Structure 1
């Protein structure tokens, strides 16, 4: 099992310095954000698509540091009812093309979230069957927006030999195991999961149970944690407050071991091995309680310990 980094975690650093820092931490893989919700701080997808020299330069920089690309990340909302949707749809298809050119097998992205009807201008996340119009909205979303995007996109990915790793995330149409399997049953095994325990945790789920349920559908893994705060005892887990300041929130994203105990992460790594996943865990840092380099180093140390211990017990 290998440890990588979503390089947005070092977004303030230029590319070469970012890669140097990744190598210094002893990591072996990188995951580049290409746009959408990422500012794409390190690579320009238009330049890489247009220029073989730029692609060779990037590959050379990686090779010099013994690094490989675990995935390209184009997370955005291709189902958004405004022009955002069209832009992110283009980004998704461009990412397929770039992945083929770079020889990267996996693309990490989110499912997207459509509006609640043809005249709406904002995405609508349905989380309850009541009031009753919620069920009509949900079915309209799937039949008129979700599947019309995902069926041809999954077909295009299959034709190019790429695997799509959908991250189960709140305020997306795919946010848990059940909603993922609804999509997979409709579009086939080209679509799997980018398993990120942090989102499941803040929604009240259990990572071990989810790993067992997903099994071989897990194609890529994010190393990110959540901590449930004391405020959740008063207000529950739904929290629309901004991610900063962290004080006063019901939950926060944290570096590994600061939400789920280290032994809990060991159980996660063991469970991944048990279902046959022996690949990259890509650290995605969104811990706003400490400097980014400290949070990433802490997560790397936690993961390295858990991987070593899981190898001893296997």
Structure 2
């Protein structure tokens, strides 16, 4: 496995400074955020789509530091009933740019539409009651998600993309293992998971079991941890909508690797990934409001260096 970094983890730095810091921290590659929910401080997406010289300079900055460009990330809600078209354009341009630069992996969300044709806000169905929720969910998949993703997969294949990596995240139609596998069955193996354990943890799922259940549907991994605040969960549950900056008051919070789950947990997670055939990138996504971004990245790299298998297996059973 190789250790990477999501560029927004160091969003306070300019492009060249971010790459310098990534190299100094010891990562081997960077996943670049291109827009939508990210302000994309490290990339000019329209310019790079249009200008071959700009693309060459962009890639040369990675090469000078011995870094790989892991993936492009266009996380957002391209199915939003009001802003979806604009967000979809960013995603489509991200796919085009990835193809132009020889990047075969694009990270994204599945999207979440409204609950009906007249809605102006997204509607995340998380319960089978009241009775109309089933009708809403069926409409969202049939009328919005599946038609969109069929077209998106065609666009991605036409531009040489091999992996569309969906982050299993609350507030999206695809947010857990069954919904990811359902979409993958409908669209094909270009669809896979960006397996971020932090989201599964706050939703009450088990990332180890998810790795087992997904198997070769794990296309990418975000390395991010979650601290589960048992004292608050006891009264509020894991359904948390308090301010993210008030860690002590929340039932869960994103946190630097090792501070929510210890080194032993991360060692087993990496081993389970390899058991199920994944030997790709562990892309650090730092969103801990309590630690500085540079310290959080450095500590995360240190932990992953201690637990992630770095070399391919060469074991051969002794002959009898």
TM-score by length of 2: 0.95
Unaligned runs of 5+ in 2: 316-320
Alignment-derived partner of residue 2 in structure 1 = 2
Alignment-derived partner of residue 318 in structure 2 = none
- SS of equivalent residue, structure 1 residue 281: strand
Alignment-derived partner of residue 264 in structure 1 = 265
The answer to whether the 8 A contact 2:4-2:283 is kept is yes
The answer to whether the 8 A contact 1:114-1:141 is kept is yes
Q: Render the CA deviation track for 1:283-314: whole Å, top value 9, x for unaligned.
A: 00111111111111111111110015997998
Alignment-derived partner of residue 64 in structure 1 = 64
Q: Render the CA deviation track for 1:180-209: whole Å, top value 9, x for unaligned.
A: 111111111111111100000001111110
Unaligned runs of 5+ in 1: none
Alignment of 1:221-236 (within 5 A): 221-229=221-229, 230-236=231-237
The answer to whether the 8 A contact 1:109-1:165 is kept is yes
State yes or no: 1:159 paired with 2:153. no
Q: Render the CA deviation track for 1:127-173: whole Å, top value 9, x for unaligned.
A: 00000010010001111111111111012212222120011000000
- SS of equivalent residue, structure 1 residue 247: helix
- SS of equivalent residue, structure 2 residue 308: helix
Displacement of 1:242: 2.2
The answer to whether the 8 A contact 1:266-1:310 is kept is no
Alignment-derived partner of residue 148 in structure 1 = 147
CA distance in 1, matches of 2:140, 2:314: 46
The answer to whether the 8 A contact 1:226-1:254 is kept is yes
Judged with a 3 Å threshold, the aligned counterparts in structure 2 of structure 1 residues 52 and 309 are, in CA distance, closer, same or farther, namely closer
Alignment-derived partner of residue 74 in structure 1 = 74
- SS of equivalent residue, structure 2 residue 164: strand
CA RMSD after TM alignment: 1.5
- SS of equivalent residue, structure 1 residue 174: coil
Alignment of 1:174-193 (within 5 A): 174-193=174-193
Alignment-derived partner of residue 129 in structure 2 = 130
- SS of equivalent residue, structure 1 residue 238: coil
Aligned length: 313
CA distance in 1, matches of 2:166, 2:198: 14
CA distance in 1, matches of 2:309, 2:240: 36
CA distance in 2, matches of 1:251, 1:278: 29
Alignment-derived partner of residue 120 in structure 1 = 119
Alignment-derived partner of residue 29 in structure 2 = 29
TM-score by length of 1: 0.97
- SS of equivalent residue, structure 2 residue 122: coil
CA distance in 2, matches of 1:26, 1:77: 32
CA distance in 2, matches of 1:294, 1:309: 23
CA distance in 1, matches of 2:187, 2:131: 28
- SS of equivalent residue, structure 1 residue 221: strand
- SS of equivalent residue, structure 1 residue 231: helix
The answer to whether the 8 A contact 1:227-1:253 is kept is yes
